Amino acid sequence: MQFPYSKLIFLSLGFSGGWLLAQFCQPKDPASAVTATAPHPEAKASSTPASKPVKNDPVDQPPDAAKTREPAPGKWSGKSPGEIADELAKIADRRLQSTAINAAVSELAREDPLGALRLAELLPRRSQRENAMEQVMREWMRKDAAAATEYLIALEDSPHRDTLLSASAQALSDKDLRASIQLASHIGTKSAQDSAFMSIGVQWGSKEPEAAAAWCLASDSNYQREHTLMHLISHWGRRDPVAMKAWALANLNGTQGEAIAQRAMDTLGSEDFQEVQSFYAALSPELQKKTSVRYAQSWAIENPEQAVRWAASLPDVQTRSEALSSVVSAWTNEDPNAASAWLNTLPRDDNRDRLVTNFVHAAQRDDPEGAMLWARSVSNEGNRSSLILSVARNWMQNDPVAAKPWIQTSPDLTAEQRENLLKMRN
């Protein structure tokens, strides 16, 4: 037998050999551990407490013993909602009180949801009451959805009922999507219902994106088709761009076709521009025209010089102008020096003025003085004066110390404009 190091230490303490032998040879059965560890009758009294009996640990029990053991009653077990509320009110520290409220509400909700709701109603602050009621309904919905739903639908219409319905519907969506959607349909306020449907739709889309997208498209609600669907496409595209692109290309013929194409291009462009190129190439000529501005903007982030040449080649005058403006704005944010060099190659005409205006708006925050120089290069006098005044106003708001000397001496401002701008500092 090898003696543990801790047992060898006792050899130096002068205890009798018989007691040491008993210590070394004590049985491993916990049931007999109490008698085996009893101290020797002749041992002197010590300030160290006597060894406690070894407790039955789940590890030492039969495999199913720990699983079948009933959980110990919680701190709040057997107390009425009023008694619990009184105890919670006595906790002065807000953070500790909040922790205690969460624990009490959670414990009572598992045993008695209606009692937990009564407790929530007795809490002192409105935010505590609302949060506690939502917590109870989520717990109740997971435990007994039918009873919780019956309780909610029986409530009188009110913003509070809508809040509880929304929280409960979202809690139920993990378990039963159809029942969750049905429950959310009882929400009386349209904005609250739309918000609940969006949460359910996005959550559904994380598991079954095609089914969730089809539900959005078939919805009678414009909000679901125009907002929830767009959120779903964005989330889906980040997780699985290939599948999202395939679905989008197959669903471009309806009223939401253009919106789907625009959102798909935005999402794909943030991941891989080559995916945007192949997506755009697969669009109908009509949709290509409608989405060319968004396409040019995505391309400008990837390769602005190629994007600006492509945008300049578009046959439709208005589309070409909008696409070029989009490219210049994106290019300025990425590389203002390269964008300004390209602008210098353009002839002075209305088209250049529009592009310079886009450049100025994009550049003025980081380089207001440089933006002002470009604003002064606009050919049209009326447009030039408006742009200079706009830059001066933004400059004064963001950095009045640097803007003031320029405003005081600028020949491009009238006395009235100068006076009004300088008043902005105060």
CB-based contacts of 251, cutoff 8 Å, min separation 6: 213, 217, 257, 260
CA distances from 357 to 141, 165, 336, 395, 406 (A): 56, 50, 13, 16, 20
d(CA 140, CA 149): 9
d(CA 280, CA 348): 32
Give the model's pLDDT for residue 142: 86
Residues 293-319 as b or e (16 or more Cβ within 10 Å = b)? bbbbbbbbbbebeebbebbeebeeeeb
Q: Are 120 and 136 in contact (CB under 8 A)?
A: yes
d(CA 248, CA 268): 11
Give the model's pLDDT for residue 7: 42
Structure tokens at 52: 């406690």
Give the model's pLDDT for residue 25: 44
d(CA 47, CA 218): 78
Q: Are 421 and 390 in contact (CB under 8 A)?
A: no
Structure tokens at 344: 């210098």
Give the model's pLDDT for residue 309: 86
CA distances from 347 to 23, 90, 341, 352, 380 (A): 101, 78, 13, 7, 14
**Ramachandran class of 78: left when φ > 0, alpha when ψ lies in -120 to 50, beta otherwise:** left
Structure tokens at 284: 């109908």
Q: Which of 119, 197, 133, 195 is nearest to 161 (CA)?
A: 133
Q: Which of 205, 155, 208, 224 is nearest to 183 (CA)?
A: 155
pLDDT along the chain (426 residues), means of 10: 43 41 43 38 41 44 43 70 92 92 91 92 90 90 90 90 90 86 91 91 91 92 91 93 94 91 87 84 90 87 86 86 90 92 91 93 93 94 94 92 92 91 76
DSSP annotation of 51 reads P
The backbone torsions φ and ψ at residue 75, rounded to the nearest 5 degrees and listed phi first, read: -65, -35
Q: Are 244 and 221 in contact (CB under 8 A)?
A: no
Output the CA angle 159-162-168, nearest 5 degrees: 145
Kindly report the number of other CB atoms within 10 A of residue 275's CB atom.
20
Residue 148 CA from chain centroid, whole number:
27
CA distances from 335 to 203, 266, 300, 308, 338 (A): 38, 21, 10, 14, 6
Q: Let me know if 109 is exposed, middle or buried by CB neighbors in 10 A (0-12, 13-18, 19+).
A: buried
CA distances from 389 to 229, 386, 410, 417 (A): 41, 5, 11, 8
